[in-house]
């Protein structure tokens, strides 16, 4: 008999792995209290081997002793989800991390769930530094609220939102780490073009972003305040910022966020 599983993961890609890693790092759950299953690939086996989370052999095995199911496969696969899930999730709490999939979409696949939560963690959850937005189909009971607090609390910060704001949250916080990583790559490439070696260039990018983010969090002021502190009139920083403004950096970021929000909306259709 496999160990009792409190939380089951249906899907084992990067988001499921980030959540498992965050829960284990904070010791919110033990490996024995989680189970996972994937599709036709090897991601579930690799996640199990790396973390000790139980690898389920079937949907029945996955959900046999699980009270909570985290749905973490690709959003476009929801419409073709196994019809057995309707019966297997009766009376269970279902938590979705599928971008763009509305509560109404989820309810069609999991009609007998005692409650359904639509959520969007981000990948820094892997180290307990994420932010998760979520909304629920109905008011959460005390036990289910405790499950969410334990799950999302281990991943970082959390915020309950109206469902109408979930696509926008996904575009900002769900996608946001990728925007930051792209900016880090641009800083690294700039250093490389200036003649620094690869190791130094990467270190410059990582430490500059890390230090700036820590300073912003510690000071608790608007980012423009700290930007002004490092910008002397007609100085070198001012020259760089003027170039960013000339190229429409903020407009580009707003457009990128709007494009991501639009795609999240498309995924719900």
pLDDT band of residue 15 (cuts 50, 70, 90) is confident
Phi and psi at 160, nearest 5°, equal -85, 135
For residues 224 and 112, membership in a common domain is answered with no
- Are residues 187 and 94 both part of a single domain? no
Q: Tell me, what DSSP letter sits at residue 268?
A: T
Judgement on whether residues 81 and 154 belong to the same structural domain of the protein: yes
Average pLDDT over residues 93-101: 93
Which pLDDT does position 160 carry in this prediction?
96
Distance (Å, rounded) from C-alpha 178 to C-alpha 209?
A: 13
- Reply yes or no on whether the pLDDT at 133 is more than 80: yes
**What's the average model confidence in pLDDT over 152-167?**
94
Give the span between the Cα atoms of 96 and 74, in whole angstroms.
11
User: Does the pLDDT at position 266 exceed 90?
Assistant: no
DSSP for 45-69 reads: HHHHHHH--EE-SSHHHHHTT-SEE
The CA-atom distances, in angstroms, between 139 and each of 89, 132, 219 are 18, 18, 36
Query: Exposed, middle or buried: residue 31 (CB in 10 Å: 0-12, 13-18, 19+)?
Result: middle
**How far apart (Å, rounded) are the C-alpha atoms in residues 66 and 37?**
13
**Residue 44 · residue 38 · CB < 8 Å:** yes
User: Are residues 157 and 96 part of one domain?
Assistant: yes
Give the pLDDT score at 25: 87
Q: In this structure, are 132 and 48 located in the same domain?
A: yes
Residue 231 phi/psi, 5-degree rounding, is -115, 105
Mean pLDDT computed over 156-161? 95
Instruction: Kindly state whether residues 44 and 111 are assigned to the same domain.
Output: yes
Confidence of residue 4 (pLDDT cuts 50, 70, 90): very low
Domain assignment present for residue 1? The answer is no
Which of 113, 142, 163 is the last residue before a domain boundary?
Answer: 163
Same domain for 187 and 86: no
180 belongs to a structural domain: yes
Phi and psi of 134, rounded to 5°?
-155, 160
Q: What is the pLDDT of residue 1?
A: 33
Q: Residue 123's pLDDT is what?
A: 87
Model pLDDT, residue 6: 79
What pLDDT does 136 receive?
A: 97
Query: Looking at the 3D structure of the chain, how many domains does it have?
Result: 2
| Contact present, 47 and 53 (Cβ < 8 Å) | yes
**pTM confidence score:** 0.88
Task: Identify the three-state secondary structure at position 38.
Answer: coil
The angle that helices 14-25 and 43-51 make with each other, rounded to 10 degrees, is 10
Q: Which domain holds residue 136?
A: 7-163
143 CB burial (10 A radius; 0-12, 13-18, 19+): exposed
pLDDT of 105 strictly over 50:
yes
Same domain, 13 and 101: yes
What is the residue-wise DSSP string for 75-88?
Answer: GGGGGG--TTHHHH
The CATH number assigned to the domain holding 252 equals: 1.10.3730.10
Which of 163, 197, 228 finishes a domain? 163
9, 38 contact by CB (below 8 A) = no
């Amino acid at each position: 008999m496999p160990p009792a599983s409190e939380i089951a993961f249906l899907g084992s890609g990067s988001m499921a792995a980030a959540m498992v890693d965050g829960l284990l790092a904070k010791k919110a759950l033990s490996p024995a209290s989680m189970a996972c299953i994937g599709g036709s690939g090897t991601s579930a086996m690799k996640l199990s081997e790396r973390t000790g989370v139980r690898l389920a052999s079937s949907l029945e095995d996955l959900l046999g002793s699980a009270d909570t199911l985290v749905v973490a496969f690709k959003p476009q696969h929801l419409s073709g989800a196994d019809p057995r899930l309707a019966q297997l999730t009766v009376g269970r709490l279902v938590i979705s991390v599928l971008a763009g999939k509305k509560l109404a979409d989820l309810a069609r696949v999991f009609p007998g769930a005692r409650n359904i939560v639509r959520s969007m963690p981000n990948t820094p959850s892997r180290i307990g530094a994420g932010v998760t937005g979520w909304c629920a189909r109905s008011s959460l009971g005390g036990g289910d609220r405790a499950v969410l607090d334990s799950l999302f609390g281990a991943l970082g910060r959390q915020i309950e939102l109206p469902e109408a704001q979930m696509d926008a949250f996904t575009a900002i916080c769900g996608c946001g780490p990728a925007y930051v990583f792209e900016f880090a790559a641009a800083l690294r490439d700039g250093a490389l073009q200036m003649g620094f070696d690869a190791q130094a260039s990467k270190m410059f990018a990582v430490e500059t972003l890390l230090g700036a983010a820590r300073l912003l969090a510690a000071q608790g002021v608007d980012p423009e305040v700290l930007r002004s502190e490092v910008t002397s009139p007609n100085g070198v920083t001012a020259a760089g910022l003027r170039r960013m403004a000339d190229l429409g950096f903020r407009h580009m970021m707003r457009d990128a966020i709007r494009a991501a929000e639009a795609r999240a909306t498309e995924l719900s259709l």
